[in-house]
Structures are given as C-alpha cells and as structure tokens.
Amino acid sequence: MSRQIIVGNWKMNGTSRDSQALVQALLAGLPASVPDVVICPPFTQLALLTDTLKTTSVALGAQDCHKDASGAHTGDISAPMLTDLGVSYVILGHSERRQEHGELDETVREKAVAAGKAGLTPIVCIGETEDQRDSGEHFDTLGWQIKGSLPDGFSGILAYEPIWAIGTGRAATTDEIAETMKFLREELVRQFGESGKTIRILYGGSVNDKNAASILSITDVAGALVGGASLKAEAFLSIVGAASAA
C-alpha cells in the first residue's frame, strides 16, 4: 500500500505574513517519518511559498484551475501556469466550487484533463448532500459524480467529502465512511477496471486532530483532505502524525 497523503485546503484564508508563519510552524513540527503532505493555499500565496517549500518534503497544491491552457478568461488560472510556479497538485470540483460557481461534473472532468496534461495530480472531490443521504440516494449520486467527473484513464486522486460534513464540525461516523469507501472502491473498479484498484481515495469533511486516527485507519482511506484544521499548525501536525501511524 502506498503512503497516505494529507492535503491541507486553506480555502480563502491567508495573507503573506500568515501563510509564511503557518508554513514555518508546520516545517518545524514535522516528524522524521511523514506521509505525503500537500498544502493548498490561495492563488495569491503560491509564488511566495514555492521558494519556502522547494527544498522540503511538503508539496504545493492549488485550489482550482481552468480547463483551457490560456485565453480570454479574466480572473482564471490555467494548469500550465500552476506547473510553472512549481505546483504539483490541484483540487478540483470541491462542493464549494460546485455550489458557489455552478460547476458541473463535465466542468470538473475537463479541468481534470487539463491538469493531467500540465503534469499536475488532480484531486477530484465528490460528495452528497444531507437530503441525498437521508433519502438513500447517496450511492447513486456518488456513482454518477465519478462517471461524470473523472476522465478516461484517470490516474489522480478521488476525495470523498460528504457536503453535510464540510465545515459543520459533524464528521461522518466510521461505519458510514467504511461503507461509503467500500462502495467507492467497487465503483472505481467497475468504471475503470484494474486501474480502479489503485486510485487513492481521501476522506474530507470536518477531519480534525481528534477524529483523524479513527478515520485514517479505515480500509481504503488513503489519507485526508483537511479544511479548517489545516489552518492550525498543531492540529494539522497531529493529523499528519495520525497518518504516519495508520
């Protein structure tokens, strides 16, 4: 089994001063043996942190990219631009992008293709709403999201984040996560064949230093996509430590 990966999604947080202080605290506290660690700051902080991280084991990720390599897209950032900055990963299809910017599965799929062509590892997010889970439609929803959001030959990372658990403090139970992970693995194999067995699946949604150990020990959980806790060095380092022990 490959090493677990812990991804910190800073979302729309962090001035230059804050970002440098947080990264320095993380680097100072990383244990000798660590999982793969990725931090995804806002676009405005990527260039600043490239130099800080280039001689470390921590990788740099972005929170989105455009489907086109260049063009008249005011305010957007292309995948080749991210590669040019030394970025290695990019989060795509986060529920906040889907809800606030109207991104569809097709949009996410096109971005994943663009990311792969630019040499980035796409981290594609899927997840169901509370109503979809309560009505028993969650597996159908997740299956269609995989089919619509992941391109043929996908070799990136899938991140499962139940929408009802993002930023709410309410994480799914270990039984709920285990059941969903089993379904996701089976669905990946059904849609992608043998390669579906090796696609890494992360869990996200109110992952913190208190629940990380139990979540990361679940079969098929290959790491975590961490939101709010990634903005606190001590909490994020605790999650990294839990991944090292998993």
Q: State the pLDDT at residue 151.
A: 97
Does the annotation place 10 within a ligand binding site? yes
| Burial (CB count within 10 angstroms: exposed 0-12, middle 13-18, buried 19+), residue 16 | exposed
102 is annotated as contributing to ligand binding: no
Catalytically active residues are 94, 161
Displacement of CA 229 from its chain's centroid (Å): 14
Q: 75, 148, 63, 71: which is closest to 113 by C-alpha? A: 148
Other beta carbons within 10 Å of 65: 27
- Has 14 been labeled as part of a binding site? no
Cβ-Cβ contacts under 8 Å for 80 (sequence gap 6 or more): 69, 70, 118
pLDDT value for 34: 82
pLDDT in the model for residue 170: 74
Spacing of C-alpha 103 from chain mean position: 16
Q: Which CATH superfamily is domain 5-245 in?
A: Aldolase class I (3.20.20.70)
Q: What ranges do the domains of the chain cover?
A: 5-245
Residue 221 CA from chain centroid, whole number: 13
Residue 227 marked as a ligand binder:
yes
Q: Quote the pTM value.
A: 0.96
206 annotated as belonging to a binding site for a ligand:
yes
Mean pLDDT (10-residue bins), the chain, 246 residues: 89 96 96 90 96 94 98 98 98 96 98 98 96 94 98 96 84 92 97 96 94 96 97 97 88
What spatial distance separates the first Cα and last Cα of the chain, rounded to whole Å? Answer: 11
- Helix/strand/coil for 36: strand
List all residues 6 or more positions away from 90 whose beta carbon is below 8 Å from its beta carbon. Answer: 40, 61, 62, 63, 64, 65, 79, 82, 111, 115, 120, 121, 122, 123
pLDDT of residue 215: 96
CA distance 223 to 207: 11
